[in-house]
Amino acid sequence: MSLNLQLAGAGCEGTNIQQLYRALILTSGHEPPVLHSYDYSQQPEVVPEVYDFAVVQLALTRFPRVLLPEILGFTLAYCQTPTLLEVCFPHQQQALPFFKLHRQLAESQLQPLRSCILNYLGLFPEQQQPLWQRVQKGFWLYQRQMQICRDGLQKKMATPRTARQAMVQLLLDKAPVAIGHHQKVQLQGKTLDLWFAGLPANGNEFLLALTQSEYVNKKSPQHSRLLVLFDFKGPMFGVLDQSEIDIIKNWLNSGLEEGSPEAIEEQQKIVVSNNNLASVSRQLQKKYVNLSNRELYYYLVNADLFPDVLPVAQAKVRNRLRARALFNPLPFKHYSHQQFDAYIDTIYQQEISAYQPLQGKPKISRDAYIWGAGADSSYDFD
Q: What is the pLDDT of residues 59-72, one digit of tens each?
A: 898 888 889 999 99
Q: d(Cα 293, Cα 300) in Å, to the nearest integer? A: 10
- For residues 288 and 286, what is the distance between their CA atoms, to the nearest angstrom? 5
Q: Give me the mean pLDDT over the 99-114 stretch.
A: 89
From 8, 143, 17, 133, select the one nearest 76 (Cα to Cα): 143
Higher pLDDT, 262 or 350: 350
Question: Tell me, what's the pLDDT at 187?
Answer: 84
Q: Provide mean pLDDT across the span 23-28.
A: 76
Does 128 score more than 90 pLDDT?
A: yes
Predicted local distance difference test score (pLDDT) of residue 259: 44
pLDDT, mean of residues 30-45: 69
At 382 the pLDDT is: 40
Q: Which residues on adjacent β-strands are paired with residue 187?
A: 190
Q: For the residues 280-300, what does the mean pLDDT come to? A: 76
Q: What is the pLDDT averaged over residues 320-346?
A: 81
Instruction: Collect contacts of 260-268 with beta carbons under 8 A, ≥24 apart.
Output: 262/162, 262/164, 263/204, 263/207, 263/208, 266/204, 267/204
Of 85-94, 105-114, 153-162, the range with the lowest mean pLDDT is 85-94
pLDDT of residue 283: 66
Mean pLDDT across 328-335: 75
The answer to whether 98 and 25 have CB atoms below 8 angstroms apart is no
Confidence of residue 258 (pLDDT cuts 50, 70, 90): very low
Q: 259: Cβ–Cβ under 8 A, 6 or more apart, which residues? A: none
Q: What is the pTM of this model?
A: 0.58
> Across 41-50, 121-130, 235-244, which has the greatest mean pLDDT?
121-130
Query: Which is more confident, 40 or 82?
Result: 82
* Mutual angle of helices 242-253 and 163-178, in 10-degree steps: 130
The secondary structure of the chain, three-state, reads CHHHHHHCCCCCCCCCHHHHHHHHHHHCCCCCCCCCCHHHHCCCCCCHHHHHHHHHHHHHHCCCCCCHHHHHHHHHHHHHCCCHHHHHCCCCCCCCHHHHHHHHHHHHCHHHHHHHHHHHHHCCHHHHHHHHHHHHHHHHHHHHHHHHHHHHHHHHHHCCCCHHHHHHHHHHHHHHHHCCCCCCCEECCEEHHHHHHCCCCCHHHHHHHHHCCCCCCCCCHHHCHHHHCCCCCCCCCCCCCHHHHHHHHHHHHCCCCCCCHHHHHHHHHHHHHHHHHHHHHHHHHHHHHCCCHHHHHHHHHCCCCCHHHHHHHHHHHHHHHHHHHHHCCCCCCCCCHHHHHHHHHHHHHHHHHHCCCCCCCCCCCHHHHHHHHHHHHHHHHC
Instruction: State mean pLDDT over 309-331.
Output: 81
Examine the pLDDT at 268 and tell me if it is beyond 80: no
Cα gap 103→298, rounded to integer Å = 42
Q: Output 303 or 76, whichever has higher pLDDT.
A: 76
Type of residue at 338: Q
Q: Are the C-beta atoms of residues 50 and 146 closer than 8 Å to each other?
A: no
Whole-number average pLDDT of the chain: 80
pLDDT at residue number 29: 65
What are the C-alpha distances in Å from 246 to residues 135, 166, 167, 240, 252? 52, 10, 10, 10, 10
pLDDT the model gives residue 157? 81
Nearest to 154 by CA among 241, 89, 102: 89
Residues 6+ apart with CB under 8 A from 176: 31
What amino acid occupies position 107? E
For the chain, what's the residue count? Answer: 382
Question: What is the mean pLDDT of the segment spanning 212-235?
Answer: 84
CB 10 within 8 Å of CB 16: yes
Q: What pLDDT, on the 0 to 100 scale, is given for residue 38?
A: 67
What is the model's pLDDT at position 374? 66
Q: Among 180-189, 248-257, 350-359, which stretch is predicted with the lowest mean pLDDT?
A: 248-257
Instruction: Assess whether pLDDT exceeds 80 at residue 43.
Output: no
**Residue 266: pLDDT over 70:** no
